[in-house]
Structure 1
């Protein structure tokens, strides 16, 4: 904590620590991702997501598009493939499964549309879980929710890689 528990304002030591953190960040040429000229600005509104067929695949594309914003003047095209599988995790003594893990692996490729060159590519993975109640309607709803959470996890990981990747031209 950079302020004292007993005083209402920041302490001298806390102020110096905050100032030191700012100086260190500026010395390493820290640039906020979504600031003008940052990597997030290069992606925002400049990426056309190549949606895939299938409910889960489409959901991943939608999650990516939500993070990238609608393409206004797309400079890049983001394509992806998604593989998922379900694993039984918790099995009762009666041999019925009451919990599943959903495992997903997504590969992605960001292509510069003006040159056709690959700007970035990679692979991310993640998992989500859901419980089976034994009632088919609620189990199906839990499974859909599990896949939705999985696509959000994978989209967030892809975005983290894109933002932390090599600098893109604007």
Structure 2
């Protein structure tokens, strides 16, 4: 069975090359100069701080920034499940991030994108537990948005 897997892999590699597949981090790849070159604007909220922290983990902290990024966050909480006593027991937290990448030398916009996702948490009879679940959901939302922003930038890095 393992010889079949090797044969399949050997046959799949030329097919990937023929379809234009190219690793983004390879030397000379489209995202080679992206790591450590994006300076994200200072956050003004806790969600913004969490998002910037996650972006810096993925893209590297800007050492010699070439690009600046501003991010506009919109977070909305919606009740999802209601108990028989009309208490909301589950919440969806919806997040949208609109970001603009600009060249720091010319201050010209080079790319603009929008990503969105959601997460959820359960309410509890204990207020402290509910608050902890809400904070955790918010952090998970910012992590997911940072993942989506990073993926979008890597996919489109050849455009700027």
Aligned to 1:61: 52
Aligned to 1:90: 81
TM-score using structure 1 length: 0.88
Deviation of the 1:61 alpha carbon: 1.3
Is 33-42 or 96-105 further displaced after alignment? 33-42
Q: Quick check: 1:124 aligned with 2:115?
A: yes
Gaps of 5+ in 2: none
Aligned to 1:146: 137
TM-score using structure 2 length: 0.93
Is 102-111 or 48-57 further displaced after alignment? 48-57
CA RMSD of aligned residues (A): 1.5
Gaps of 5+ in 1: 5-9
Closer/same/farther in 2, CA of residues 51 and 121 from structure 1, 3 Å limit: same
Deviation of the 1:166 alpha carbon: 4.4
Q: Deviations over 1:89-148 (max 9, x none)?
A: 011010111110000111001111122222211111110000111211111010000000
Aligned to 2:106: 115
Aligned to 1:76: 67
Aligned to 2:127: 136
Aligned to 1:7: none
Count of aligned pairs: 160
The answer on whether the counterparts of 1:105 and 1:124 sit within 8 Å (CA) in structure 2 is: yes
